[in-house]
């Protein structure tokens, strides 16, 4: 699930014609999600640790945007680009039985 989401984002961003600083800034979370997905796929401990650290940083960044930044679409941007990916990462980190129970309800 996490690898699929990261590859969709990677494909969308690579379809752009120019690789400006906005592109490279957007590639950092995608790269982290790909690394977490590969680490979890190969059952490596570093994948789990990187996933927890990334999810915590995404949540803190999203809350920072919601609380301290003023703007028209700040809450939507924080939800879509920070909090939802953090939730996807945390669900991917759940053990198999807990993940099946969480996703089936």
Low-confidence ranges of the chain (pLDDT < 70): 1-2, 5-6, 9, 13, 16-17, 97-105
The pLDDT of residue 104: 66
The pLDDT of residue 18: 74
The pLDDT of residue 99: 61
- The tally of domains found in the chain comes to 1
- Joined tokens for residue 19: 């690789």
Would you say the pTM of this structure is higher than 0.75? no
The pLDDT of residue 30: 78
Residues 37 and 92 sit within 8 Å (Cβ to Cβ): yes
How far is residue 11's CA from residue 58's CA, in Å, rounded to a whole number?
Answer: 22
Range of the domain at 49: 2-104
The pLDDT of residue 100: 65
């Amino acid at each position: 699930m996490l690898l699929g989401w990261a590859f969709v984002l990677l494909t969308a961003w690579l379809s752009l014609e120019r690789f400006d600083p906005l592109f490279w800034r957007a590639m950092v979370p995608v790269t982290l999600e790909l690394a977490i997905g590969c680490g979890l796929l190969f059952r490596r401990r570093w994948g789990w640790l990187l996933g927890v650290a990334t999810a915590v940083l995404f949540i803190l960044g999203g809350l920072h945007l919601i609380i301290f930044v003023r703007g028209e679409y700040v809450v939507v941007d924080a939800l879509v680009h920070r909090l939802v990916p953090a939730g996807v990462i945390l669900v991917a980190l759940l053990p198999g039985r807990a993940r099946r129970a969480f996703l089936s309800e």
